[in-house]
């Protein structure tokens, strides 16, 4: 007799670690002693500030290791109210939920908003885990093309063309991973008008908020007409180079937050008080981690853009934020997947194939800007030196 599985295991069967196959292969080769330039993931190349680490250690020593509650530690919620008050003047603790990072937050949000038969509109390319978060509910992704000629900024006309009777949620990410696009306030207003017209929820992943390169950051929370249908999520992972601490939150309407809370409690029932204390210190402190990363990533993106400006086969759009840059390799005659694996094989340079981020990105590869300038320049030089003719047995 064959044992049976829940349908979610089929829906997610190839939407987990499989998207990171090249990254995993590169890490394995590096562990075996090979010299690999790893540009696959957004792991900041600066350490977590020692002051924040000490806050975490201090909280541990003070015994902040017991159960929390489902919504979040009071001190952290108060810090989040102060942080978001300029954007959402009426914010209270009822608008806030704390999570171990944005990934769990997004999972809980989409569980609360979508189900079988619903459509979730997402700009394509999109972050690799978004598809799984959507399909876990039985809903389906409705891709909206992000075009290099528009610097990958989501266009209202493209969103309008993608909306159907099934559409229920618009999932945004600004600054955008993987493209680095930053949505302007005007664009958010145009997208928001469509969401009002078609009665769509807006979910906005703002984890890269502090890493913009001259383009002002804007949030749908800043637009009063959108607040009743908007929930945003963020974390300390990128802003404070604290990816492993897993500390995030959501800011959204009171009723939506109330409905998400039991989902969060069923999964987690609270996160760690000692990490909440560290997160409070991060939000209320004056740390320069994000500014140092922002300057470095902006400089590196310009370096790559200028280095490739004379390339007859490689092209790129200058990102406006985040920690990645996309390169179009179509003129090599290869798709991004083949190019990336060949680059790893021939030069020991690991980049992410665009196909990991959606159908629109099949001719692209993504480079992380999170290695020293000279290492990144060496990797780009390898891409320029890449020669297509090569056959495998």
pLDDT in tens, 256-295: 999 999 999 999 888 899 999 999 999 999 999 999 999 9
**Predicted local confidence at residue 388, as pLDDT:** 56
For residue 143, tell me if it sits in a domain: yes
**Predicted local confidence at residue 15, as pLDDT:** 81
Domain boundary among the residues 284, 319, 336 is at 284
Q: Average pLDDT, stretch 299-316?
A: 95
For residue 60, tell me if it sits in a domain: yes
Supply the DSSP string of 282-324, one letter for each residue: HHHS---HHHHHHHHHHHHHHHHHHHTTT-SS-EE---SBSSE
Q: Which domain covers residue 19, as residue numbers?
A: 7-47+289-385
CATH value at residue 159: 3.40.640.10
Specify whether the CB–CB gap between 141 and 122 falls below 8 A.
yes
Same domain, 87 and 130: yes
**Predicted local confidence at residue 19, as pLDDT:** 81
Q: Average pLDDT, stretch 118-132?
A: 96
**Predicted local confidence at residue 391, as pLDDT:** 43
CATH value at residue 30: 3.90.1150.10
**Predicted local confidence at residue 347, as pLDDT:** 95
Write the CA distances from 18 to 160, 196, 364, integer angstroms: 32, 36, 18
**Predicted confidence (pLDDT) at residue 104 exceeds the cutoff of 70:** yes
For the stretch 202-249, pLDDT in tens is: 999 999 999 999 999 999 999 999 999 999 999 999 999 999 999 999
Same domain, 117 and 32: no
Same domain, 17 and 69: no
For the stretch 73-85, pLDDT in tens is: 999 999 999 999 9
Same domain, 66 and 28: no
Task: With CA atoms as reference, report the closest residue to 143 among 123, 160, 159, 128.
Answer: 123
Burial of 280 (0-12, 13-18, 19+ CB in 10 A): buried
Domain boundary among the residues 238, 260, 284 is at 284
| Mean pLDDT score of the chain | 95
**Predicted confidence (pLDDT) at residue 393 exceeds the cutoff of 90:** no
Specify whether the CB–CB gap between 195 and 229 falls below 8 A.
yes
**Predicted local confidence at residue 269, as pLDDT:** 85
Task: With CA atoms as reference, report the closest residue to 237 among 20, 43, 68.
Answer: 43
Task: Count the domains in the chain.
Answer: 2
Domain boundary among the residues 284, 304, 327 is at 284
User: Is the N-terminal amide bond of 43 cis, ω within 30° of 0?
Assistant: no
For residue 1, tell me if it sits in a domain: no
Same domain, 338 and 242: no
Same domain, 178 and 195: yes
Alpha-carbon distance 169 to 35, whole Å? 44
Same domain, 71 and 180: yes
For the stretch 28-70, pLDDT in tens is: 999 999 999 999 988 899 999 999 999 999 999 999 999 999 9
For the stretch 334-373, pLDDT in tens is: 999 999 999 999 999 999 999 999 999 999 999 999 999 9
Same domain, 239 and 219: yes
Alpha-carbon distance 195 to 203, whole Å? 11
Q: Average pLDDT, stretch 166-182?
A: 98
192 Cβ contact list (under 8 Å, min separation 6)? 202, 220, 223, 225, 226
Phi–psi pair at 211, nearest 5 degrees: -115, 65
Residue 392 pLDDT grade (very low, low, confident, very high; cuts 50, 70, 90): very low
């Amino acid at each position: 007799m064959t044992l049976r599985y829940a349908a979610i295991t089929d829906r997610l069967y190839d939407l987990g670690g499989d998207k990171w196959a090249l990254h995993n292969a590169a890490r394995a080769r590096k562990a075996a002693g090979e010299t690999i330039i790893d540009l696959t993931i957004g792991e900041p190349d600066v350490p977590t500030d020692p002051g924040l680490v000490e806050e975490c250690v201090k909280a541990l020593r003070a015994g902040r290791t017991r159960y929390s509650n489902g919504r979040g530690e009071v001190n952290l919620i108060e810090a989040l109210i102060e942080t978001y008050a300029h954007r959402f003047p009426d914010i209270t603790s009822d608008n806030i939920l704390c999570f171990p990072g944005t990934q769990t937050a997004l999972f809980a949000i989409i569980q609360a908003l979508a189900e079988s038969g619903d459509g979730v509109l997402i700009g394509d390319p999109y972050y690799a885990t978004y598809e799984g978060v959507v399909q876990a509910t039985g809903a389906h992704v409705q891709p909206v093309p992000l075009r290099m000629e528009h610097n990958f900024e989501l266009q209202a006309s493209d969103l309008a063309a993608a909306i159907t009777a099934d559409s229920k949620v618009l999932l945004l990410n600004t600054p955008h991973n993987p493209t680095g696009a930053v949505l302007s306030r005007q664009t958010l207003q145009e997208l928001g008008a469509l969401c009002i017209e078609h009665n769509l929820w807006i979910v906005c992943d703002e984890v890269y908020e502090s890493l913009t390169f001259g383009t002002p950051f804007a949030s749908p929370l800043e637009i009063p007409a959108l607040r009743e249908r908007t929930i945003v999520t963020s974390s300390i992972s990128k802003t404070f180079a604290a990816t492993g601490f897993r500390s995030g939150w959501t800011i959204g309407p009171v009723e939506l937050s109330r409905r998400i809370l039991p989902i969060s409690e069923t999964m987690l029932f609270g996160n760690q008080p000692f990490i909440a204390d560290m997160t409070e210190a991060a939000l209320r402190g004056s740390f320069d981690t994000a500014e140092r990363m922002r300057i470095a990533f902006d400089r590196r993106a310009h370096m790559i853009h200028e280095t490739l400006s004379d390339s007859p086969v490689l092209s790129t759009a200058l990102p406006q934020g985040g920690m990645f840059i996309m390169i179009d390799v179509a003129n090599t005659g290869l798709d991004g997947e083949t190019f990336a694996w060949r680059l790893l094989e021939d030069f020991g340079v690991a980049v992410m194939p665009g196909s990991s981020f959606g159908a629109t990105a099949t001719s692209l590869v993504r480079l992380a800007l999170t290695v020293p300038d000279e290492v990144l320049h060496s990797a780009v030089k390898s891409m320029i030196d890449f020669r297509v003719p090569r056959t495998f047995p």
